[in-house]
Amino acid sequence: MFKRKNAHQLDDDSQQDNKVSKLRSALGPLSGHSLVFCSDASLRRYLDARNWNVEKAKKMIEETLKWRSTYKPHEILWHQVAHEGETGKVSRASFHDRQGRVVLIMRPTMQNSPSAEGNIRHLVYLLENAILNLPRGQEQMSWLIDFTGWSMAANVPMKTTRDIVYILQNHYPERLGMAFLYNPPRLFQAGYKAIKYFLDPRTAQKVKFVYPKDKTSDELMKSHFDVENLPKEFGGKATLAYDHEEFSRQMYEDDVKKAKYWGLEDTEPNGFHAADVVSEPATSLA
């Protein structure tokens, strides 16, 4: 049975709905991509990220709309970034966490590209893909980051890290549910102090360091994941095997779904055409 909301909760909901309406009015008339992007759920996330201050949320979402109009993350196609994903350094898991959140698996030791823009564009594509595949009613995703075997040789430059943090916090607010950093070496932990400087306190609270053969870490992982689904690399029982050809097939299918969602089937912005997505064979992604 559902719990009955008390008067205070109903009052809070009413106030939040009122803030959403005020933000929508403040943004003015919207059309096309901006109209689709600015759903009530999206406006709530921006308001939440700015402590429900309408003016601050308005400024934030306007900056995102400007960024999306130039960077066009929703128009990035898999065949444009597939070479960055050949090693499986970032991929969408086939399972969800216990909260029903889509899971992105990241393996820094699989880094295969020196291109800062390539790395960022690949990650942005997968952020958009994760959002596209969120279950109804779920707004957030979880990250599993395996640092086993990590060394400075696989380290992403600080500027790239800073740019990624900026994009995540300013253009994907409240999309990260939890980030689990598994088996990070001491060297990384020292470097994380510099990264944490750029993190919003609320984001920093979502970052959890977990370690193998550690009771507290085991309990944390079990509270968020079914160990039958969780890969052995993260303390679970499942086998993690990245098949680039199979993953590419999934991404091509999702690119078609994405085109329909954004209403891009009959347009060709920056070379985008839905028909091209299904005609591109996975075997050509070498």
The structural domains of the chain, ordered by start, are: 17-71 (1.10.8), 78-261 (3.40.525.10)
Q: According to the model, what pLDDT value does residue 266 have?
A: 60
- Amino acid at the residue 123: L
Region of 80 (left: φ > 0; alpha: ψ -120 to 50; beta: rest) is alpha
Q: According to the model, what pLDDT value does residue 285 have?
A: 26
What token pair was written down for 48? 């939440």
3-state DSSP assignment of residue 231: strand
Q: Which residues of the chain have pLDDT under 70?
A: 1-11, 152-154, 266-286
Contacts of 75 (CB under 8 A, 6+ apart): 262, 264, 269, 270, 272
Identify the residue whose tokens are 């990384």.
188
Q: How many C-beta atoms lie closer than 10 Å to residue 166's C-beta?
A: 11
